[in-house]
Every structure is written in C-alpha cells, then in structure tokens.
Structure 1
C-alpha cells in the first residue's frame, strides 16, 4: 500500500508543480523530478532570470499546498504519514541545446543539458533552494533576492563550475498554513488517495519503481 500511495502522491505533486509553471515546456518526468525548459532567445537577458525565479516561487507554493493536502489524510502508510517531510529543490541553467524527436517525443540534448543534471548533485546544505548556474546568474543585472551563496564543484566530464543559490524561504516567504481540516474533510482525502491507489493494489498498474528496475536490467 505504501508503494502504491507513493506513486499516487508523487504523481499528484508533480502535476501541481508542472501546472504552476505554464510558461515552461515539460520535457520529461525523471523519477520524482520534472525537467522543464523554455526558449530564452524569446526574452531579454533580465527577463530570463526574473521568470525563472517567478516560476520557482509558484511551483514551490503549489507543491506545498498539495503536500499539505496529502499529509492531512488518515491513511497510516509510510508514504502518507511522511508527506510532511517532503521538500522541493530547483536547479536552473541557461545554455545552448539541440532537439531530438524520438517516437513523437521531443528531447533536449547537449553539454548544457548534462550540466544542469549534474548540478543536481551538489553541496548545498539547506533543505529547499534555488540553485542557478554561473551562466544564468550572470545573465541578469539584478541580484538574486535574499542572501546569495556561492558553491563550487567539479562535475564529472565537465570540470570545475561555479553556481549560486538562495534559500527558497528567502525567495518565496513563509508558506501560510492551510485551515485545519475537519474529520469529514480528512476522510474524504483518505478515500481519494485510497481510490487512486487501488489500481496498483490489485495489479492493474505497476508502480514506477518496479518499471525502473526493469529498465535498469534492460540497460545492463
């Protein structure tokens, strides 16, 4: 049940996060992360940074609003009871990419795509942050809001890079708590999660973790 509800809750959270950034195109879902992009050539350099931070703020609020929804249901499984511990992090970069279309799906390729993915593994020590590459950081004249910190790391296959990050709390402010739900409200949320997880429980759908294991085996 916990694995089934993890799939349901992750999908619910990802959908809210993606919907909160309408100016960005969804390129791919990567486990519990979403890879989004937009054409920076259509904007001036200053707007690129501003729109990136605006999108991060909107996505952060949408994520935690839905996370609170998940956390208030009455399901005792580990996935639901630990929803309050979920955090959201952002990594952003501006660079040149090429596009590929594989089975009617558009993909972005190039060294800058590799770079932004490698930046996901970093030494940032705050639970929620927006990390921007040096290229994106220098593209605008306005400093990032709040205290900005610099981090350096040596990326495999790329070499030494510098990035800058801000705590999401400094960027978006404290997220206001939702009203305490009634018992009937919590029961309704519980039934919603249980109903969405039922296809996994009865074997009509496979959780992504199982599918990921199969993909790894095929690759090997």
Structure 2
C-alpha cells in the first residue's frame, strides 16, 4: 500500500453555515460573498490550530484532528467554542456597520453555524496534485449535515466522537439523536442545541467558563465533562 494511502484515525469536523443559499441568492453578490467569506475565515482561524483545515467547501469548512497530532481533546472542544464565538462576533460587527446598509450586511444575522463532529478512519490521497482525504467515515461526516436537528445553531457529536473524547452525554444535558442514512443505516449521536443569542450559556457544560465578552483564547476548565 502506498504511504499516502495508509489509514489514519481522528476527528472529522465540519463547520457549516445554515441559511447560506438563501442569503447569497437574496443579496448583492459582492457583499454577500464578502460577508460569508469573512465569517468562514474567522471560523478557520478559530479551528486551526488545533485542527488541520482540509478544505473550504462553499458554505462549510472541513477540518481534521488526526489522533497522532500533538493536541488534547480539551483543546479540540475549546476550538469549537472559539469558532462559534468568532462567527457570532463577526455577524454582529457586520450588522452594526453603518457605512453599508445593503441587504447582505443587514441580513447577515439570519445565518447560523452548526458543527458536525465525527471520529473515524480516513486515508490521505493526492489527486491531480491536490491533497484530500477519503473513506466511508468522511462520507458519513458530510451526510450528517443533512439532519432534522433544531435549533439551527448546534454541535452534533456522533457516538464514536463522544466515546473518543470521554464526554458523559447525560451529565452535560446533550440530546440524543438518531438519523437514518443510506448505506450507513441508523447513526446515533448527541446534540448540544444552542440559542443563537446565548451560545456560550448553552456550551458552558462542555466548554468551561468561556464568556461571549471574553478573549476567546485557551481555556482549560473542562474537567466536569472530559475524562482524565
């Protein structure tokens, strides 16, 4: 087996903007694209490090957290909180910019960010000089973007992700989720459903003492939910 197709294991994370299609088709192309580009750039900066950005997929960021990487699971969870906070802060900043009252800037608050967190196997490939990852777990992570979870701002952890991190779903108030996906059957997971205006209040059981008006830097108080 060629070295670049050796199986690896790790986290497969997707940060996806809900409401993207409606937003870009109903707003000025220049400002709509600029607004979503800035939002995605902030999400990328929040996730990496500790995650490795694999690809920008239109309205989503696809990132990897290989098990062999030098990072803790606590750092991984903290990066999710930073991404959600960065997204929300930038939305507010754009909406309050009185120098432009176009439909894109005025309507940016309607967008939502959701995170899919799966743990599984993947292989790295080089296709036409471009690096990519492939495998059933990569497909499953992307399929999970299609679900009936409400509200629109949430973090969906699959069962394997919860087990790998060591989160106690009952202790953290996570909601069970089961979805049926072609070729995969029923997939179990757990959801942290978030009020868009009080993101970190909902995340506190998982993310420690982050506050929306605090510096979204490293925080380490994850002992209540992350196994030692």
Shared fold (TM-score, shorter chain, > 0.5): yes
Partner SS state of residue 126, structure 1: coil
Q: 2:50 touches 2:76 (CA, 8 Å); kept in 1? A: no
Partner of 2:152: 127
Residues 98 and 157 from structure 1, CA distance in 2 versus in 1: closer, same or farther, beyond 3 angstroms?
same
Partner of 1:147: 173
Q: TM-score, normalised by structure 1?
A: 0.72
Structure 2: gaps (5+ residues): 1-26, 205-209, 215-228
Please show how residues 150-169 of structure 1 align to structure 2 within 5 Å: 150-168=176-194, 169=199
Distance in 2 between residues matched to 1:25 and 1:131, nearest whole Å:
19
Number of residue pairs aligned between Structure 1 and Structure 2: 174
Q: 2:150 touches 2:193 (CA, 8 Å); kept in 1? A: no
Q: Deviations over 1:136-179 (max 9, x none)?
A: 112233325742001111112211110111124311566349xx
Distance in 2 between residues matched to 1:136 and 1:142, nearest whole Å:
9
Q: 1:152 touches 1:160 (CA, 8 Å); kept in 2? A: yes
Distance in 2 between residues matched to 1:66 and 1:120, nearest whole Å:
23
Distance in 2 between residues matched to 1:19 and 1:42, nearest whole Å:
18
Partner SS state of residue 95, structure 1: strand
Please show how residues 38-117 of structure 1 align to structure 2 within 5 Å: 38-42=65-69, 47-48=72-73, 50-74=74-98, 75-117=100-142
What's the offset of the Cα at 1:127? 2.4
Partner of 1:184: none
Q: Which has the higher strand share?
A: 2
Q: Deviations over 1:56-111 (max 9, x none)?
A: 10111111111111111232322111112221110011100011112432111000
Is 1:35 paired with 2:62?
yes
Q: Runs of 4 or more off by more than 4 Å in structure 1?
A: none
Equivalent position to 1:175, from 192, 196, 212: 212
What's the offset of the Cα at 1:19? 0.6
- Mark the structure with the bigger radius of gyration: 1
Distance in 1 between residues matched to 2:138 and 2:35, nearest whole Å:
28
Partner of 1:185: none
Distance in 1 between residues matched to 2:66 and 2:102, nearest whole Å:
42
Distance in 2 between residues matched to 1:175 and 1:114, nearest whole Å:
33
What's the offset of the Cα at 1:43? 6.1
Partner SS state of residue 112, structure 2: coil
Distance in 1 between residues matched to 2:40 and 2:94, nearest whole Å:
13
What's the offset of the Cα at 1:2? 1.2
Distance in 1 between residues matched to 2:104 and 2:211, nearest whole Å:
25
Structure 1: gaps (5+ residues): 178-220
- Root-mean-square deviation (CA, aligned residues, Å) is 2.2
Q: 1:152 touches 1:161 (CA, 8 Å); kept in 2? A: yes
Distance in 1 between residues matched to 2:121 and 2:78, nearest whole Å:
22
